């Protein structure tokens, strides 16, 4: 019998992260949902779904170490990490401040490093682990006005391939998922005329759904996913065939 697994999903209480947390719980995995900001929404998520929530900024190295230690103290050793937390600070380079650049790199890419430093060694020692990093179509294809976001997400894909080589012989897989445009609050905030142009470029003719990304994560973290490592799964409706 397979032992119950413990997972941390960063940014795990809203949007794609919420869908991932729920999908892993449905698999019988004990989930810790990390969040950084809205306490009220996080507590409502915890109450509604019986999933523990833990607050820390994944871009803060020490906070990650302490946060993951708190999860392990409460729930047990962490077997699965889904690095989903991310922010945007969009703007063309001419108007992008260093803080806009640095904040996105610190959270989106730095968060992957910080979470790996906190959990990867334990996975190696125990001989089993799963890391899934959420990249982006814009990290593969680029996007106007997103040099920070595209660079960070592209970096995630390289980080994934390199770390996968360190874990492969130890039973630890490291993969990425690159979502296209998904029907979340972030995308809903895009002006209707802009959103229509985006959808027109998606061959399947619609936005993706958060649960579709979650199903990809569910496979990669499963017992059956052990032969997949260093891979990027593109879930974008055919918008970018990479």
Q: How far is CA 58 from the centre of its chain?
A: 11
Rg (CA), the chain: 17
Residue 234: partners with Cβ closer than 8 Å, 6 or more residues away: 137, 140, 177, 178, 180, 240, 241, 242
**Residue pair 109/101 in contact by the 8 Å Cβ criterion:** no
- Comparing CA positions, the residue from 212, 227, 222, 225 lying closest to residue 27 is 222
| Integer Cα distance of 86 and 108 in angstroms | 5
**Residue pair 64/117 in contact by the 8 Å Cβ criterion:** yes
Residues identified as active-site: 149
């Amino acid at each position: 019998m397979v032992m119950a697994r413990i997972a941390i999903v960063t940014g795990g209480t809203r949007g794609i992260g919420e869908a991932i947390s729920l999908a892993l719980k449905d698999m019988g995995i004990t989930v810790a949902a990390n969040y950084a900001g809205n306490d009220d929404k996080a507590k409502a998520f915890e109450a509604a779904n019986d999933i523990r929530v833990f607050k820390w900024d994944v871009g803060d190295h020490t906070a990650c170490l302490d946060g993951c230690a708190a999860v392990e103290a409460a729930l047990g050793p962490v077997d699965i990490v889904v690095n989903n937390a991310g922010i945007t600070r969009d703007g063309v380079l001419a108007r992008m401040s260093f803080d806009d650049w640095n904040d996105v790199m610190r959270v989106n890419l730095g968060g992957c490093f910080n979470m790996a430093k906190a959990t990867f060694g334990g996975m190696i020692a125990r001989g089993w682990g799963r890391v899934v990093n959420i990249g982006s179509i814009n990290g593969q294809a680029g996007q106007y006005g997103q040099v920070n976001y595209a660079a960070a997400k592209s970096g995630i894909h390289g980080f994934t391939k390199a770390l996968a080589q360190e874990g492969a012989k130890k039973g630890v897989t490291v993969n990425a998922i690159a979502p296209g445009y998904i029907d979340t609050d972030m995308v809903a905030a895009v002006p209707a005329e802009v959103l229509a142009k985006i959808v027109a470029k998606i061959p399947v003719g619609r936005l993706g759904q958060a649960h579709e990304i979650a199903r990809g994560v569910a496979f990669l973290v499963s017992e059956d996913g052990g032969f997949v490592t260093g891979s990027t799964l593109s879930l974008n409706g055919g918008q970018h065939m990479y």
